Chain A
Amino acid sequence: MSGAFVIAGAKINGEDVGTIAVRDGVLIDPTDAGTGATRIDADGLVLLPGLVDLHTHLREPGREDAETIESGSRAASRGGWVAVHAMANTNPVADTAGVVEQVWSRGQEIGLVDVFPVGAVTVGLKGERLSEMGAMAQSRARVRLFSDDGICVYDPVIMRRALEYVKTFDGAIVQHAQDLRLTEGSQMHEGDVSAELGLAGWPAVAEESIIARDVLLAGHVGSRVHIQHLSTAGSVDIVRWAKARGIQVTAEATPHHLLFTHEEARTYNPLFKVNPPLRTSEDVEAVREGLADGTIDIVATDHAPHASEDKDCEWAAASFGMLGLETALGVVQQVMVDSGRMTWKDVARVMSHTPARIGRVEASHGRLLTVGEPANLTLVDPASRWTVDPSALASRSHNTPYAGRELPGRAVATFLRGTPTHLDARFEGAFA
């Protein structure tokens, strides 16, 4: 895509209407675009820097029946993402330079999004000994984030060493905060709904106590910790406290923890079974508040595809997790933007600029929309309404809790370094 194109009429970051132009994958001055440039009429649309997801499960290698790097990349580009961070809990686990390079290069080969592998903190996610994080950092995949996601790095000594060790290459430990002993057999948030439904409880304290420990550890050794999927009011308070003390902690919220509560479990529909679990309405409100006031730095999807047999079963037998890549933008618009709690500029911050910075990919992603920057772009139609149809999603799996639900805010075009990776039907002619 070396031909120039112009996007005219969009609100840049949701603010002033403007025109941008692209040539050779880079933003150029519109007056330099020339008369031959393709013109995209973007009246009424919002132009954002391309979205960066810090928490994605692509399932390849190992569970290609649930998702592949290709199907996940396609789902991501349709959702407005230009980069995703692929979690390490694959089979084999991404705990060696070989696996992360394979994932990274497969992402490049497909070319729809940049796939940045997240390395495992411990060998085989077993929590016993550190994986060769240095080798992964020095590989072509340039891994900077390390996580045993799905499992908490539970041993405090292992956690301390990991935090210290990644300072070598300016990395961060990405923690799935879950006290394993307090959550053995847990099925849903421990509260009035679990008491009535007879489903084993996953108490808020099991998340909060690990976050408290880990922000203190990060402060003690002067390293970076990123907390995944904050789900409780107490977690937000602890992160707020840690930030006030100058601890290098960042945190994410998922779309589903911004929208749903534990009441969804009343139908025993395993599509709502997720880890950490959906919490109370007070927790949801605290997470929204934390995202709005900057305590929570970013929105990340925790896109977790599962084969239908792992969801079409008893609640207790079902896998944890739900799809998120294609619905995240809509949920964020509905919950945060349409309610007036955040602007589109804030959305650019929490879904592009800041995640790119935390992932240390800010040289190529999460850039400002100014001349000379890479043309990683997401065009959103905030006026569109769409009903989520699981079978129409690009993901290989269908486990979306939003099935049948109407959402706003669909990405209508996504560009990775100037190349359209997703185009709504209205634009297809322009790039024919």
Chain B
Amino acid sequence: MKHLLGTKGMTREDAVLILDTAAQMAATQDREIRKLPTLRGKTVVNLFFEDSTRTRISFEAAAKRLSADVINFSAKGSSVSKGESLKDTALTLQAMGADAVVVRHWASGAAYQLAHGGWLHGSVLNAGDGTHEHPTQALLDAFTMRKHLMNTDGTGVDGKGLDGLRVAIVGDVLHSRVARSNMHLLTTLGASVALVAPPTLLPVGMDSWPVDVFHGLDDALDAQPIDAVMMLRVQRERMTGGGASFFPSPAEYTRMFGLDGQRMARLADNGIVMHPGPMNRGLEISAEAADSPRSVIVEQVANGVAVRMASLYLLLAGEEQS
């Protein structure tokens, strides 16, 4: 792998390799000394055009535990607001000798452009581009599901996919890079995916997506046992203000799509509750659901570091082997 731009088109083989590698990385994190020498001498740049402290520190921790040098580059401006352009930023990073650029950007396609624009030679790792993809989030979600739900025969999960799992992704699919990346990856790994959202928050043109669609969380729970339910963050301001009218009111959204204790009780046995964070407690998820034993939300964060270590390792250490 040269870049990690998205999960669309990722092979099952590559996806399982990342998950297996992440499991090895996670195992090293139980040791007394957690730092590995693997990427010593490599420079990883965290290039963030959009604020996301959580994602940035997750990548930073991952790179540092592999002994890479980390540079954080917060480019809050954009070519829209007359900041430095994407191209000039890329040329700067190239001149500084970045081996990998972890990029978070408000514009869909920015990671692809960085990788293919001819501006820099290092690996590009997409940490979320607009409403397009967020592949490491999907990988950490898959990692978490695999760990909890796929060790049914007690032989461990190495080499396994997510075959037979039923996953519901609930909320603003239209604007969600997490939903897109998860849909591609989970189906590649053999899970079946249900998207649960009001029609206003589903994109036109998704007819060929390999998913079931429900317009209410109860309908989805009625249709089949759900092994993992993933609640997406609802951006309250964006949804009802300024003539956007994606749904009538937060209260109505919560009634139809919110995960509360009652709905959580209808998940499959061992079913888990997930959320990419940050949560709106009381809107898309109740405190009871978020804090229940079924919730793996905090563990998702920890797994994020392992998955990002694996991704950086495969992009940067792999290139010398091949």
- For the complex, what is the distance from the CA of A309 to the CA of B78, rounded to whole Å? 12
Residues of the B chain whose Cβ atoms lie less than 8 Å from the Cβ of A309: 79, 85
Q: By the criterion CB–CB under 8 Å, are B204 and A315 in contact?
A: no
Q: By the criterion CB–CB under 8 Å, are A314 and B206 in contact?
A: no
Render B32-62 as a binary contact track against A, CB cut-off 8 A, 1 for contact. 0000000000000000000000000000000
- For the complex, what is the distance from the CA of A200 to the CA of B129, rounded to whole Å? 13
Residues of the B chain whose Cβ atoms lie less than 8 Å from the Cβ of A313: 79, 85-87
Residues of the A chain whose Cβ atoms lie less than 8 Å from the Cβ of B206: 192, 195
Given contacts A196-B8, A198-B130, contact A316 B107 (CB under 8 A): yes
Q: By the criterion CB–CB under 8 Å, are A198 and B131 in contact?
A: yes
Residues of the B chain whose Cβ atoms lie less than 8 Å from the Cβ of A307: none
Q: Which of A191, A198, A199, A201 has the most CB atoms of chain B within a 10 A radius of its CB?
A: A198
The reply on B269 being an interface residue by CB < 8 A is no
The residues in A between 257 and 281 inclusive whose CB is less than 8 angstroms from any CB of B are 267-268
Residues of the B chain whose Cβ atoms lie less than 8 Å from the Cβ of A268: 108-110, 112-113
Residues of the A chain whose Cβ atoms lie less than 8 Å from the Cβ of B237: none
Given contacts A313-B79, A314-B78, A317-B78, contact A194 B205 (CB under 8 A): yes
Given contacts A196-B8, A198-B177, contact A267 B112 (CB under 8 A): yes
Render B194-219 as a binary contact track against A, CB cut-off 8 A, 1 for contact. 00000000011111110000000000
Q: By the criterion CB–CB under 8 Å, are A193 and B113 in contact?
A: no
Q: Which of A199, A203, A268 has the most CB atoms of chain B within a 10 A radius of its CB?
A: A268
Residues of the A chain whose Cβ atoms lie less than 8 Å from the Cβ of B203: 194-195, 201
The residues in A between 291 and 348 inclusive whose CB is less than 8 angstroms from any CB of B are 309, 312-317
Q: How many residues of B are counted as interface, with CB atoms below 8 angstroms from the partner's CB atoms?
A: 31
Q: By the criterion CB–CB under 8 Å, are A197 and B79 in contact?
A: no
Q: By the criterion CB–CB under 8 Å, are A315 and B205 in contact?
A: no
Given contacts A195-B205, A198-B130, contact A317 B79 (CB under 8 A): yes
Residues of the B chain whose Cβ atoms lie less than 8 Å from the Cβ of A193: 205
Q: By the criterion CB–CB under 8 Å, are A267 and B116 in contact?
A: yes
The reply on A179 being an interface residue by CB < 8 A is no
- For the complex, what is the distance from the CA of A378 to the CA of B130, rounded to whole Å? 47
The residues in A between 171 and 210 inclusive whose CB is less than 8 angstroms from any CB of B are 181, 187, 190-201, 203
Given contacts A313-B86, A317-B107, contact A197 B132 (CB under 8 A): yes
Given contacts A196-B8, A198-B177, A199-B108, contact A314 B204 (CB under 8 A): no
The reply on B308 being an interface residue by CB < 8 A is no
Residues of the B chain whose Cβ atoms lie less than 8 Å from the Cβ of A200: 131
Q: By the criterion CB–CB under 8 Å, are A192 and B208 in contact?
A: yes
- For the complex, what is the distance from the CA of A62 to the CA of B209, rounded to whole Å? 46
Closest to B112 in A: A268
Q: By the criterion CB–CB under 8 Å, are B108 and A197 in contact?
A: yes
Q: By the criterion CB–CB under 8 Å, are A314 and B109 in contact?
A: yes
Residues of the B chain whose Cβ atoms lie less than 8 Å from the Cβ of A199: 108-109, 130-132
- For the complex, what is the distance from the CA of A313 to the CA of B105, rounded to whole Å? 12
Q: By the criterion CB–CB under 8 Å, are A191 and B205 in contact?
A: yes
Closest to A310 in B: B79
- For the complex, what is the distance from the CA of A317 to the CA of B209, rounded to whole Å? 28
In-complex Cβ contact of B130 among A196, A203, A316 (8 A): A316
Render B59-82 as a binary contact track against A, CB cut-off 8 A, 1 for contact. 000000000000000000011100
In-complex Cβ contact of A198 among B86, B108, B204, B243 (8 A): B108
- For the complex, what is the distance from the CA of A172 to the CA of B243, rounded to whole Å? 34
Q: By the criterion CB–CB under 8 Å, are B112 and A198 in contact?
A: no
Given contacts A196-B8, A197-B132, contact A312 B87 (CB under 8 A): yes
What is the distance, in angstroms, from B186's C-beta to the closest C-beta of chain A?
Answer: 16
The reply on B3 being an interface residue by CB < 8 A is no
Render B120-158 as a binary contact track against A, CB cut-off 8 A, 1 for contact. 000000000111110000000000000000000000000
Residues of the B chain whose Cβ atoms lie less than 8 Å from the Cβ of A315: 107-109, 113
In-complex Cβ contact of A314 among B8, B79, B209 (8 A): B79
The reply on B180 being an interface residue by CB < 8 A is yes
- For the complex, what is the distance from the CA of A312 to the CA of B207, rounded to whole Å? 33
- For the complex, what is the distance from the CA of A317 to the CA of B208, rounded to whole Å? 29
Q: By the criterion CB–CB under 8 Å, are A190 and B204 in contact?
A: yes
- For the complex, what is the distance from the CA of A201 to the CA of B204, rounded to whole Å? 8
- For the complex, what is the distance from the CA of A267 to the CA of B243, rounded to whole Å? 32
What is the distance, in angstroms, from A86's C-beta to the closest C-beta of chain B?
Answer: 28
Residues of the B chain whose Cβ atoms lie less than 8 Å from the Cβ of A181: 243
Q: By the criterion CB–CB under 8 Å, are A198 and B208 in contact?
A: no
Residues of the A chain whose Cβ atoms lie less than 8 Å from the Cβ of B177: 198
What is the distance, in angstroms, from A288's C-beta to the closest C-beta of chain B?
Answer: 23
Residues of the A chain whose Cβ atoms lie less than 8 Å from the Cβ of B205: 190-196, 201
- For the complex, what is the distance from the CA of A201 to the CA of B87, rounded to whole Å? 25
Q: By the criterion CB–CB under 8 Å, are A198 and B79 in contact?
A: no
Residues of the A chain whose Cβ atoms lie less than 8 Å from the Cβ of B129: 198
What is the distance, in angstroms, from A168's C-beta to the closest C-beta of chain B?
Answer: 38
* Chain B residues proximal to chain A, CB less than 8 Å: 8, 78-80, 85-87, 105-110, 112-113, 116, 129-133, 177, 180, 203-209, 243
* Chain A residues proximal to chain B, CB less than 8 Å: 181, 187, 190-201, 203, 267-268, 309, 312-317
If A268-B112, A314-B113 are given as contacts, then 15 extra A-B residue pairs at C-beta distance below 8 Å, sorted by A number, are A181-B243, A190-B205, A192-B205, A195-B203, A195-B205, A197-B109, A198-B177, A199-B132, A200-B131, A267-B116, A268-B113, A314-B79, A314-B105, A314-B109, A315-B107
Interface CB pairs A-B, < 8 A, 27: A190-B204, A194-B204, A194-B205, A195-B204, A198-B133, A198-B180, A199-B108, A199-B130, A201-B204, A268-B113, A309-B85, A312-B87, A313-B86, A313-B87, A314-B78, A314-B109, A314-B113, A315-B109, A315-B113, A316-B80, A316-B106, A316-B108, A316-B130, A317-B78, A317-B79, A317-B80, A317-B107
